[in-house]
């Protein structure tokens, strides 16, 4: 089986490549990555000598290179994306270009080549914002995103991802293309570029710097370990129904302030390093997903508890300072 992983030198992509190579003996993987600021081929150093793996540097908006790498592919895992909300607020065009136009280029090539399945990897942020409930509040479980929740993105990033999702599902409806869309909650784990909350807080704490927290820090996110997400993507590729959407979450809601506090505790650093800063524009108050459909149709459920996963993640950043200080 030949697989194409776009964005395979990024955080989730590189973890997915390792997962696939470890789990599947009879597999060939082509990674297509433009190596923008968050992509790092060093994230794949441990598999670089594997004959089943090939790296191609290229832009998913380039039809020629996309057509070249798409030849003979059975399944596409589309993870290439501009993904940082803060950057999208400053400049939205790169997000529209990559997340919408790039997805269109890939879909057109996949259709022409007769690819067996296209997995569009997306985010729970396309659903918008949920009513705020404290983590652990039973009422909160009744207010989570399901796959039937109407899309209502509230940032340039999430709007561009929603656009890509709509395109992918439109290719299924119009052309009968085998498309599955996945939407996950906040990921964490090794090889995440230190602009997202957890690696940013870890690296700043390791350098004894202040840890900036937006607003009151009570924004709630559901955290999923990247290994659980990768298992979900493989399950969706293998067992998902064409034209369907599947949510993946960790069942681990935390306020941002709680997460930062846990990072400091894991590093034995003082809570006084937390610095509350002006809130981000349009900062969504709460995200959480209902994963019932993934359990019932894919047999998937999260397995990594947040406290253990966070400790492992902190240890990884301690042991791999040369990677994040590059």
50 is catalytic: no
Q: Given the residues 53, 127, 157, 171, select the one marked as catalytic.
A: 157
Q: Given the residues 33, 59, 125, 228, select the one marked as catalytic.
A: 125
Q: Given the residues 33, 59, 82, 124, select the one marked as catalytic.
A: 124
125 is catalytic: yes
Cα separation of the two ends of the chain = 35
191 is catalytic: no
Burial class (CB in 10 A: 0-12, 13-18, 19+), 239: middle
Residue positions annotated with a catalytic role = 124-125, 157
């Amino acid at each position: 089986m030949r697989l194409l992983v776009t964005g395979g030198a990024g955080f989730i992509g590189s973890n997915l490549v390792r997962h696939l190579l470890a789990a599947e003996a009879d597999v060939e993987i082509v990674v297509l990555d433009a190596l923008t600021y968050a992509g790092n081929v060093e994230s794949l150093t441990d598999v670089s000598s594997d004959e089943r793996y090939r790296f191609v540097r290229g832009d998913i908006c380039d039809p020629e290179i996309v057509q070249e790498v798409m030849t003979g592919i059975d399944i596409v895992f589309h993870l290439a994306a501009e993904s940082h909300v803060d950057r999208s607020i400053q400049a939205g065009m790169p997000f529209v270009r990559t997340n919408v136009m790039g997805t269109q280029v890939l879909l057109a090539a996949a259709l022409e080549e007769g690819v067996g399945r296209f997995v569009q990897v997306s985010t729970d942020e396309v659903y918008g914002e949920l009513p705020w409930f404290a983590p652990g509040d039973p009422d909160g479980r009744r207010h989570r995103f399901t796959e039937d929740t109407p899309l209502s993105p509230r940032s340039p990033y999430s709007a561009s991802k929603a656009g890509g999702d709509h395109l992918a599902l439109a290719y299924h409806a119009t052309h009968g293309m085998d498309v599955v869309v996945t939407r996950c909650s906040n990921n964490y784990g090794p090889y995440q570029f230190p602009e997202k909350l957890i690696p940013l807080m870890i690296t700043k704490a390791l350098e004894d710097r202040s840890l900036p927290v937006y607003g009151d820090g009570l924004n709630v996110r559901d955290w999923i370990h990247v290994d659980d997400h990768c298992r979900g993507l493989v399950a969706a590729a293998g067992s998902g129904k064409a034209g369907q959407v599947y949510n993946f979450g960790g069942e681990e809601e935390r306020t941002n302030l709680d997460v930062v506090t846990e990072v400091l505790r894991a590093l034995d650093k003082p809570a006084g390093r937390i610095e509350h800063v002006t809130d981000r524009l349009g900062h969504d108050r709460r995200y959480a997903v209902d994963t019932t459909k993934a359990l019932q149709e894919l047999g998937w459920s999260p397995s990594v508890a947040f406290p253990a996963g966070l400790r492992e993640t902190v240890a990884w950043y301690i042991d791999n300072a040369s990677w994040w200080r590059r």
